[in-house]
Amino acid sequence: MYIVFLKSAGLIQKFLLKFLVLCILLGYVVHSYAQDIHFSQFYYSPMNINPALTGVFPQDIRFSGIYRKQWESVSVPYMTFTGAYDTKVLPKLSDNGFFGAGVIFNYDKQGYGQLGGPELALSQLTISGSYTQRLDDYNFLTAGIQIGTINRSFGIEGLQFENQYNGDVFVPGRDDKEDFDKTSITFLDYSTGLNWHLQTDAGLSLNAGVGIFHLSTPKQNFYNQTDTRLPMRYAVNVMGMSPLNPILNIHFAVLYQMQGVYNEILAGAAVEYKVNATRGKELSVQLGTNFRYADESDAVIPTFGVNYLSWQFGFSYDINISQFKKATNGNGGPEIALIYTITRVKPPKAFKTCPIF
């Protein structure tokens, strides 16, 4: 029934309009921030939002990276970087499915003392695996898992403690009398996810799924006598693209994340214009806007993208509209994303039509 419905171009556009209105309405329901790293252009870092998105893309190999610098206008900016690689594994094993594998590295530095001082605030290295099963010519279901290590560390060089005050002023050289059991911790982490992929003859492509991170709620305490747990993070995503006419596509995406008492929603859309559709010379540009809501209206995020052959480039800038704008003067921060894909050339005798993507 969904396939018949989505094949109609007019009905597709009505569906997209209802979807975008729903995204905006959802933005007024949820609140506060997720605790893990996050990106405004989350669709350029799919394995960070759902392990089941590993290997789920039209090509065979994908390299991706995102760099984000947040709140540069305040005295303590945040810096986040992600680098990832994923690929299809044994795609010719069956016409009905394939495996995916990948690796992802996350790095984050933030806060006073840089919550990591001269070291890293957060360093995460994870391997990811998935299996995609073809349900029919239009629908595919993927299950994914991730296993990795996380290191958190902090330095007290930039911090001030009560014992360093002599009653009137702060004395930098005075003993802070703080005794941490450790300033660096490393622990194992496990995550899983499920994703549904839809593709139609009309050109509509859609991914909808949920990722569940930190399944074991690992300890992350710096005092031995405490038991501080990293709460599970739930990420629900819907991302897709639909052609409006031969030279225009519309891209849409929404992400809801919840971790402990914190949650946020990101929703947005972009229009892609095909500058050159000639095979071997494909070039297009994208313009759009994302919106983040976390406890209150948090940021309006203009986006710009360029797609050239196997390259995808994305740039966004957060315009802060929350109460924190008094400190940031409305400045959120820039974010740059880059993806490069490789399609293996199959020998003519070994080539066979595969309905997947």
Q: Do β-strands 311-320 and 331-342 pair in parallel, antiparallel, or remain unpaired? A: antiparallel
Percent of the chain clearing pLDDT 70 (strictly above): 68
92 CB-side CA count, 13 A: 7
The pTM (predicted TM-score) of the whole model is: 0.77
With a cut of 70, say whether residue 155 has pLDDT above it. no
Instruction: Pick the range with the lowest mean pLDDT from 203-207, 242-246, 257-261.
Output: 257-261
For 214-345, list the strands marked E by DSSP: 233-245, 248-259, 262-276, 283-294, 296-308, 311-320, 331-342
Residue 209: closest CA among 235, 190, 232, 231: 235
Q: What is the distance between the alpha carbons of residues 38 and 316, in angstroms, rounded to a whole number?
A: 13
Model confidence pLDDT, tens digit, residues 323-352: 655 555 556 689 999 999 998 776 555 555
Contact status, residue 105 vs residue 127, Cβ threshold 8 Å:
no
Residue 137: closest CA among 197, 194, 193, 63: 197
- 189-203 in b/e form (b: 16+ CB < 10 A) is bbbbbbbbbbbbeee
- 174 is written with which tokens? 């005075």
Higher pLDDT, 116 or 355: 355
Model confidence pLDDT, tens digit, residues 27-44: 333 333 336 788 999 999
Contact status, residue 82 vs residue 104, Cβ threshold 8 Å:
yes
Could you tell me how far CA 29 lies from the centroid of its own chain?
A: 21
The secondary element (H helix, E strand) that includes residue 144 is strand 139-153
Q: What is the DSSP letter of 165?
A: B
Q: What is the distance between the alpha carbons of residues 239 and 178, in angstroms, rounded to a whole number?
A: 47
Q: Which residues pair with 272 in a beta bridge?
A: 249, 286
> Quick one: 335 exposed, middle or buried, by C-beta within 10 A (0-12, 13-18, 19+)?
buried
**Residue 45 in 3-state DSSP?**
coil
Q: Positive or negative CA dihedral for 114, 115, 117, 123?
A: negative
pLDDT tier at 298 (50, 70, 90 boundaries)? confident
- Top CATH class of 2-342 equals mainly beta
Higher pLDDT, 209 or 261: 209
Q: Do β-strands 283-294 and 262-276 pair in parallel, antiparallel, or remain unpaired? A: antiparallel
Could you tell me how far CA 154 lies from the centroid of its own chain?
A: 25
Provide the residue ranges of all domains of the chain, joining segments of one domain with +: 2-342
Could you tell me how far CA 318 lies from the centroid of its own chain?
A: 15
- 308-322 in b/e form (b: 16+ CB < 10 A) is eeeebbbebbbebbb
Which amino acid, one-letter code, is at 334? P
The pLDDT score that the predictor gives to residue 117 is 41
State the chain's mean pLDDT as an integer: 79
The pLDDT score that the predictor gives to residue 261 is 83
Q: What is the distance between the alpha carbons of residues 7 and 242, in angstroms, rounded to a whole number?
A: 11
Contact status, residue 298 vs residue 292, Cβ threshold 8 Å:
yes
- 12 is written with which tokens? 């597709």
Which residues fall within 8 angstroms of residue 199, CB to CB, at 6 or more apart? 138, 140, 205, 206, 357
Q: What is the distance between the alpha carbons of residues 317 and 333, in angstroms, rounded to a whole number?
A: 5
